[in-house]
Structure formats: C-alpha cells, structure tokens
C-alpha cells in the first residue's frame, strides 16, 4: 500500500467529534442517546445574519475574497474589538479565517520550529495539543486545579518556562471548565510574561459572550496594553453568535504576525467562505451575540445540571462562571462496580458506562488532560438536559461498592 505521512503520528481525530459520530450511529440504530458532548448551543443563528448571507448570495458575493478576508469584515472586527474590548487594531492587524481553529493553526504554523514549546493550561481544549505537535511544537502542560477554580498560579507558570518556550495559551472562559479569568488573574499572568519578552501569548476569547452572575469578560490585551504586540487574540462567531457552521474565526495581533498567518492561510484555504463573511459582518456590526434572554436560559440550564449532579453520590461540581460546560469531579465513583460486574477504573470507563447503560454521551476528563472528571456540555434543550441528568443519577445509583 502507498505510504502515509509520519506527521499523522502526532494526530488523532478530535475525540469529541468521534464521540459525536458514535452517538449519531447509535441514534441511527434506534437508541435514544442524549448528547451532552457537543461544543455548541442549540440556538439558531440570528435571522439578520442569515438574511445578510442570503442577500450576499443574491448580490453575487460568491467569488474568492481577499486572503485575509473582505475589507468590511476586517473593519467590523476592528470596530468590535474597540467597542467591546477597548483595544485598538487596524485592518492590517486582523485576519478572518475558517473558524478560530484555523487562526490557531495559522499562528502556530507561522511561528513554531521543531521542538519549540507551547504552554497549555490543563484541563485544556483538546484542540490545542495536537495542532501544536502537527506544527512541530511540544505542548507543555501546566495543571490548574479545581480548588483554585482552574485559575493558573503564577509560580506554576514560571516553572514551566524554558528557553524553548514560544507561546503560552490562555483560554477564558474556558472549555472544558467554564473558568473565567478576572482582572486580577490576568494581571498576575501579565506580571509573569512581561519578564519573558520572547514569548507570544495567545488569548482564546471565543466564549467571551457566555458569562454569568455579573462576571465581566476582560481580555489580556486590554489589561496589559504593553504586551499587546506579543498577544494574538483568537476569537470568532462560532460560540457566542451561534454560528459554528458558518466557520468564521478571526485573529488580532501585530501586523508582522498577521502577515505571516496570511501566508500560511494562502497555502491552506485562501479566505474563509465569502458568503459566511457577509453574515459575520452583520453579526459583528449589529452585535448579534447572545442576548440577555439566551444567557438567562443557559444560566438556568447550568444551575439545573449543577444542582442535579451535586445530588448524586459519587459526583460533585462547581458552578462555572462562563462557557456552556461543567467539569464534573467523579473521583468518588471510581472503584465502584457496574451492574454487569465491570469495575469503573477511570473517567473514561464511567463515560462508557453512561453511554452504554444510561444512553447519555459525555466527554471524559482524560481527553482534556485532567482526570478523574467528565465534561457536560449543556447547550441542548432543557427537557433533554433534565432527562440526561435523571439518567446519570440512576446510573450512578446503580453502581455498587466493590
């Protein structure tokens, strides 16, 4: 057989997408699986953004666009960043890409040499480590803890920095924990990175619009303007505008980095979809991110899951301040025995048990670099969410001590 590339050794298909395919297959076979593993909400894209796309098609906006995105979108990104985040960027400082995922790929591909290190805070979004490896880098994991509400400790960051460190990645609100960095937390990160002028900082702000309980989202570039030239803001329309399928992400950074990211993009996808870009222009210019009603609904779902799972013997979770995920501690469930006699040895075993016996799909903490936990995504309809929690409660009640 003709060969495959060795670079594939560094890659596995995203585990959440794999699980979702498995769920779809089980559903096709007639099983009533409730998926709590999807990285998106059940909300529809705002009608005004949808109409903007339709109008773009009818106006013939169906051709290739400039590499870094249409001028109108780059302008809309700059205005959004100024209006909502208090940071000044010009059009040459921004790039529109095919999802936030491609912004990250462009940046790492444009900056990493073989063996360069990238600091990733665990638990992490599973998308980071593999893309770092694909770009020749080495992910260096720095653990955060539930006790610290998954906020990085400065000392741990300092200890992880070496001469090979090229990037640190900060994701707030966080996937998978929902942790949100406040002003003081960002100031302590800034105090450390300020001492290392050769390190880039990537702030993945993609969940910025999903914050609760009066928590205010702040981005590092606003808190530490002196670091702005070394910061790449990663953001996009996917999560907070319910536009995951449109595939529009954007990056903002110094123009030198953006130029190199454009070079990478020119060899991979060219610009993102022209039609989607027009929808994104509308979404950003008219601020079509989740409204108060949608945030209240997500908050009610969060509270439902937190209270129902905290009632379960063997599970516990905190009330996260952002994103639409809950990271559930399942340490007390390990070592127990399922009705079929199998011992639950790990979070992965527990998730398999939930899938097979309770027909609920959740992601194991091992996929995010911190065990024993599992991640619940609560972006689905409230009735299904409640039913899923009832099933988890029953499944856990059926576990026996060894």
Ligand X SMILES: Cc1ncc(COP(=O)(O)O)c(C=O)c1O
List residues binding ligand X (CB under 6 A).
Answer: 39, 99-101, 125, 127, 171, 175, 204, 206, 236, 238, 244, 249
* Dihedral-angle region of residue 69 (phi above 0 means left; psi in -120 to 50 means alpha; beta otherwise): left
Q: Which is nearer to ligand X, 233 or 312 (CB)?
A: 233
Q: Which is nearer to ligand X, 202 or 358 (CB)?
A: 202
Q: Which is nearer to ligand X, 70 or 131 (CB)?
A: 131
Q: How far is the CB of 399 from ligand X (least distance, A)?
A: 30
Q: Which is nearer to ligand X, 125 or 378 (CB)?
A: 125
**Contacts (Cβ under 8 Å, ≥6 apart) of 119:** 140, 142, 157, 160, 161, 165, 167, 168, 169
C-alpha 231/C-alpha 95 separation (Å) is: 14
Q: Cis omega (within 30 of 0) on the bond before 169? A: no
Q: Which is nearer to ligand X, 93 or 238 (CB)?
A: 238
Q: How far is the CB of 248 from ligand X (least distance, A)?
A: 7
Q: How far is the CB of 357 from ligand X (least distance, A)?
A: 28
DSSP three-state, residue 394: helix
Contacts of the segment 214-220: beta carbons below 8 A, 24+ positions apart: 215/180, 215/182, 215/321, 215/322, 216/182, 217/172, 217/173, 217/180, 217/322, 218/181, 218/182, 218/183, 218/186, 219/85, 219/87, 219/186, 220/170, 220/186, 220/189, 220/190
For ligand X, the nearest residue by Cβ is 99
Q: Which is nearer to ligand X, 123 or 314 (CB)?
A: 123
DSSP 321: S
The residue written with tokens 């969940």 in the block is 207
Q: How far is the CB of 379 from ligand X (least distance, A)?
A: 11
Q: How far is the CB of 53 from ligand X (least distance, A)?
A: 17
Q: How far is the CB of 206 from ligand X (least distance, A)?
A: 4
């Amino acid at each position: 057989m003709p060969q495959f590339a060795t670079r594939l050794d560094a890659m596995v298909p995203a585990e959440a997408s794999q699980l979702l395919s498995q769920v779809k297959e089980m559903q096709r076979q007639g099983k009533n699986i409730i998926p709590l593993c999807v990285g998106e909400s059940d909300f529809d894209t705002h009608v005004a953004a949808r109409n903007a796309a339709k109008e773009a098609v009818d106006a013939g906006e169906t051709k290739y666009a400039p590499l870094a995105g249409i001028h109108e979108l780059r302008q809309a990104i700059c205005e959004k960043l100024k209006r909502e985040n208090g940071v000044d960027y010009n059009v040459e400082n921004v790039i529109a890409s095919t999802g936030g995922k491609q912004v990250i790929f462009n940046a790492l591909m444009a900056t990493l040499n073989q063996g360069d290190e990238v600091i990733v805070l665990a638990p992490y979004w599973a998308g980071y480590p593999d893309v770092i490896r694909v770009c020749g880098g080495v992910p260096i994991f720095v653990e955060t803890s539930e006790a610290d509400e998954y906020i990085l400790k400065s000392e741990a960051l300092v200890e992880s920095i070496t001469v090979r460190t090229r990037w640190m990645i900060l994701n707030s609100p966080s996937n998978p924990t929902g942790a949100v960095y406040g002003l003081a937390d960002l100031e302590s990160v800034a105090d450390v990175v300020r001492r290392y002028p050769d390190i880039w900082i990537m702030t993945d702000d993609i969940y910025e619009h999903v914050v609760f309980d009066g928590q205010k989202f702040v981005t590092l570039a606003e808190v530490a303007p002196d670091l702005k030239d070394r910061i790449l803001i990663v953001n996009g329309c996917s999560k907070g505008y319910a536009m995951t399928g449109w595939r529009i992400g954007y990056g903002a950074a110094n123009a030198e980095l953006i130029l190199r990211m454009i070079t990478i993009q020119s060899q991979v996808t060219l610009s993102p979809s022209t039609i989607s870009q027009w929808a994104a222009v509308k979404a950003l210019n008219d601020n079509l991110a989740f409204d108060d009603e949608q945030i209240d609904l997500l908050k009610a779902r969060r509270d439902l899951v937190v209270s129902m799972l905290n009632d379960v013997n063997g599970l516990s979770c905190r009330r996260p301040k952002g994103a639409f995920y809950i990271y559930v501690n399942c340490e007390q469930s390990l070592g127990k025995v399922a009705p079929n006699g199998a011992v639950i040895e790990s979070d992965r075993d527990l998730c398999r048990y939930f899938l097979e016996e309770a027909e609920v799909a959740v992601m194991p903490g091992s996929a995010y670099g911190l065990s024993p936990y599992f991640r619940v995504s609560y972006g689905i309809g409230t009735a299904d969410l409640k039913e899923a929690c009832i099933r988890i409660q029953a499944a856990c009640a059926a576990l026996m001590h060894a």
